[in-house]
A and B are shown apart, each in its own frame.
Chain A
């Protein structure tokens, strides 16, 4: 059959042509506008979760001074804080925000392959956020079962929000998964099928690789959460017993019998562990690009970086039960999952080494994004090493459900991706708005945030080794906990208020620089990737003007020996590359290693 490459049929993708304010910024099908809608919604709901964490810290740090939340409200706060941060902030911001903005621009596409579906994805996401936040206002309040929503306690009387809150939470999760699936199908298909001429998979920037593999993980892991959500919803609304064993609750035999709470844990963590990498892989990708641009050096070991992303993605599906060592499962299972958990550290460590080796002998520019890169590498190593403790069954047993775990996952999954998000915003803000963020405010924001978060989370490791249990409203006079632990808790709380206040500098910077920032020009960082080569900044609808870009090289031709400038954009043909007089460099693609 006569065959025309579909990507060549450029004229066939009918982009809608927005005219009014409403079609341009509200019901927009432009991936860049959708990305900003996703990001702003995620940041807004993330600020709610930040507020909840401050309420918790106020209670934990000064249990005798303040008494404005009850134990029930404390549980509701930890539940909503965890769920919002993991799903509605990090997943939505990294995939819905960065994924939407960067994939078409970095791949040289005009938009996502199905822009209408992309738009619907955002609106369903917004609906899921509204449904989730509605649970604050119903009688009984949101669910207080902890973000893992473990049955049987999640729907038993005595747990806050066991009637209304949990139903809204589950409905909101189902909506989120629908939204994510519509967006995710778009991201994956765009990367696979809609790249521009010359953009092979092995020339793609690592940001796109990270987001791409993370989206595939999402498409295969969220189904488990969807099924879990539906079954739990039936258990709580219809009185079925998928997860509910026969039990005595408040002196009465419950109406449930024969279900399996462990099944819930398996299904939940089959989603929950890949979810960690759904957040981590885009962050890994973005960091790889930031480190290369700001160290003016090609990324060390590009091919190995790609294979490491793929390897992490695959292995992340067979490590889930390391969250369940204390659930009473078979020790041989524990052995298996401890082994796979330690194996996944190998490709992860490989990526860390490659970032450090990219910095080594690089022409490091200590710009604000670079500061965040370095902050991330430190924090990620820190959080990763405590992960080795928790990955071993014997060490995990005493540390399980203590502040050590809290410290570990906030380092590795909280602070690390947030530092990447900050770095990425400082890096791409000029492309999104055409103006630079204020540099001085950025530096203040970075140093205060970095030291502040260490002041919060490092002491938590000590508290955990002391045996301080997590999810306790107040420690009271527990005999094995020394009084000094309370002093440390108070210190952590003060640091938390400080870090939260520092974020106001960042928010101020975002809004102030929007109109008053220094104009950036099209490529302020002298980067090679396609998004910096658009004809207009910020890019207009359709991204590329009349012709799609053509790519001649990989994304990391920095400081190529013989070239007269220290970066060569991906769109520059070999014969156009200015070279030093007398050099033998022919302008060809730099060497992949």
Chain B
């Protein structure tokens, strides 16, 4: 079938019978879900920006709050930098997994997906460390903290918690899909079609992309 691009392609797709996008059902559904999820995170971030403006108490300085001391010298945002690096790296391994999935290279696909899941779990682990440090050592609570505006803790725990839940769900999702690739489930039931790997990848890249925004708006602002 001849591929039409640009506006003409869109018109042909949308006036077609049977399907508007030439993609599997699951992939179309994942795109729509991610669009909906984008609105959820946008609302969270807009709510955060709004209370940061309305609160009457000064906002704590993120580079001080999120600093870790090595050998007596505090390094600002060092943990967040490592977490971000880990999550971006996991996007790279995921992209490779999708590529090997299309080549039907079962072993490499499974290994790369499990590596992605391991990096994701590492991210969640570091987030747990960060939460523990804030709660136990620095006395930050959702309803207040010693450094300044109470909304700092409220928005921090709410937004990073909601994102962390997305990452955790993604890790489980990755392990399930990898297991199904590994045990030949898709070879038996989907005619050897590994499109689920790509659908899982879409979700994973989305979770990474959201983190970039949280990182920019919460830690760098």
Q: Which residues of A contact B (CB under 8 A)?
A: 3, 5-8, 12, 113-114, 181, 185-186, 188-189, 192-203, 219-224, 226-228, 230-231, 234, 238-242, 245-246, 255, 257-260, 263, 267, 270, 551
Contact = CB atoms under 8 A, between A and B. Distances in A.
B36 interface: yes
B97 to A, nearest CB: 19
15 contacts: A7-B18, A113-B25, A193-B23, A202-B15, A219-B32, A223-B43, A231-B47, A241-B55, A242-B51, A246-B56, A257-B150, A258-B56, A259-B151, A260-B50, A267-B43
**Which of B20, B154, B191 has the most chain A CB atoms inside 10 A of its CB?**
B154
Nearest to B19: A193
Given A114-B25, A227-B43, A240-B143, A194 B19 contact: yes
Contacts of A203: 17
Q: Interface size class for chain B?
A: 35 or more
B80 to A, nearest CB: 23
B42 to A, nearest CB: 8
A60 B29 CA distance: 48
Contact of B158 (A220, A223, A231): A231
A3 B39 CA distance: 33
B57 interface: yes
Interface string B116-159: 00000000000000000000000000110000011101110010
B43 A195 contact: no
Contact of A193 (B1, B15, B25, B143): B25
B15 A227 contact: no
Contacts of B154: 234, 240-242
A264 to B, nearest CB: 9
Contacts of B19: 5-7, 192-195
Contacts of A192: 19-21, 28
A200 B158 contact: no
B103 to A, nearest CB: 13
Interface in B76-131: none
A4 to B, nearest CB: 10
B29 A258 contact: no
Contacts, number: 145
A226 B44 CA distance: 10
B213 interface: no
**Which of A189, A195, A222, A255 has the most chain B CB atoms inside 10 A of its CB?**
A189
Contacts of B158: 230-231, 234, 240
A224 B39 contact: yes
Interface of B: 1, 14-26, 28-29, 32-33, 35-37, 39-40, 42-44, 46-47, 50-51, 54-57, 142-143, 149-151, 153-155, 158, 162, 191
A367 B26 CA distance: 42
B40 A223 contact: yes
A419 B150 CA distance: 49
Contact of A201 (B14, B23, B143): B14
Contacts of A7: 18-19
A224 B43 contact: yes
Contact of A220 (B35, B44, B55): B35
A198 B16 CA distance: 8
Contacts of B28: 189, 192-193
A197 B17 CA distance: 6
Nearest to A255: B143
Contact of A3 (B22, B40, B150): B22
Contacts of A257: 55-57, 150
B32 A263 contact: no
Nearest to B3: A3
Contact of A241 (B21, B42, B150): B150
A158 B35 CA distance: 40
B36 to A, nearest CB: 4
